[in-house]
Amino acid sequence: MGRMMSKHDRKLDQAARAAWMYYVAGETQHDIADKLGVSRQVAQRLVALATEQGLVSVAVNHPVAECMTLAQQLQQRFGLALCQVVPSEGVEAVGLQQMIAVAGAEVMAQTLKNPQAQIIAVGSGRTLRATISELPEFERPQHSCVSLIGAIASDGSCTRYDVPLWMAEKTQGRYFILPAPLYADSAADRDLWCNHRIYRTVTEKAAQADVMFVGIGQVAPGCPLNADGFISDAEVATLMSQQVAAEMIGHFIDKKGERAASELDERLTSVRLTAHTRRQIVAFAGGHEKHQAIAAVLKGGWISGLVTDEASARFALQQEE
């Protein structure tokens, strides 16, 4: 019984064959249909199934020359230790995020492959979550994943800001959650959360992180922090009047790249970030709506590594000129 393939397994086996023929051997769907003895529509569906089921991992090993040039210019201009730029000409927003996620996962994998125990601190954001989703599974239980940002909503539920959990599941390592809401109800309430023994233990661990992986948020009406109910429409308007362009784990950064003082600061429970740090802080962000935010973070020297897109890279370099 154990040796018999189920119908689903046979289908996957056939899908894997079709994927090899299509992606590796470069055969047409017409050829595949002939060789597998199926209709062209079935051959097409098999190739699609292989992709959906994660049987195919496409790596484009030939970098676009223009993107390499932009990455080098960003590294030199902003003192980055690493930079990857993906092509963005003619690419829709969803496709762009997927490209950044695939390139970003390769960057993350460099750290995760390390057999030595690593402490990996992780922020939040949709791009970061998409990037972690692209990671293969790593058998690295010695690694620890530490949250940089409180993921508890005001009603006590865990929010989708709980991105580090995804990373811990990929590595099968330990996960240290920051036991606090992103913004406490008041300054006094923040002190209660932040003086708790577990909170202090986790933030001390985050301070020792070998690498930090973060997202960069834009500040505008309907931005994720606003849409998810963390900051009100009035607070967004106030921040925008202060020329705030970017947000990193709840810290606000203005267009000049400087930390913008906000009354939200006294309620923020995130691990503290400082500019011009020697820490390894790698950000993953791209897309038209994030141009100003990425440029501000680079200008202020808040990160040491960046995975972004062509248009965002050009914008940041033009701002500097």
Q: Is the same domain home to 90 and 147?
A: yes
Number of domains into which the chain is organized: 2
d(CA 204, CA 197): 11
Q: What is the structure's pLDDT at 235?
A: 92
Phi/psi zone of residue 141: left (φ > 0), alpha (ψ -120 to 50 degrees), beta? alpha
In this structure, are residues 179 and 152 in contact, taking their beta carbons and an 8 Å threshold?
yes
Q: Is the same domain home to 23 and 108?
A: no
Q: Is the same domain home to 194 and 269?
A: yes
Would you say residue 302 has pLDDT above 90? Answer: yes
d(CA 258, CA 241): 15
Inside any domain, residue 58 = no
Q: State how far the alpha carbon of 151 is from the alpha carbons of 104, 156, 279, 321, in Å.
A: 23, 9, 23, 38
pLDDT digits (tens, 9 = 90+) for 20-79: 878 777 788 898 899 889 999 999 999 888 888 878 776 666 667 889 999 999 999 999
Name the least confident of 159-173, 230-244, 302-316. Answer: 159-173
Q: What CATH number does residue 158 fall under?
A: 3.40.50.1360
d(CA 92, CA 88): 8
Q: What CATH number does residue 37 fall under?
A: 1.10.10.10
Name the least confident of 147-151, 188-192, 213-217, 314-318. Answer: 147-151
Question: What is the residue type of 175?
Answer: Y
For 296, the domain range is: 65-320
The CA-to-CA distance between both ends of the chain, in Å, stands at: 69
Q: Is the same domain home to 110 and 148?
A: yes
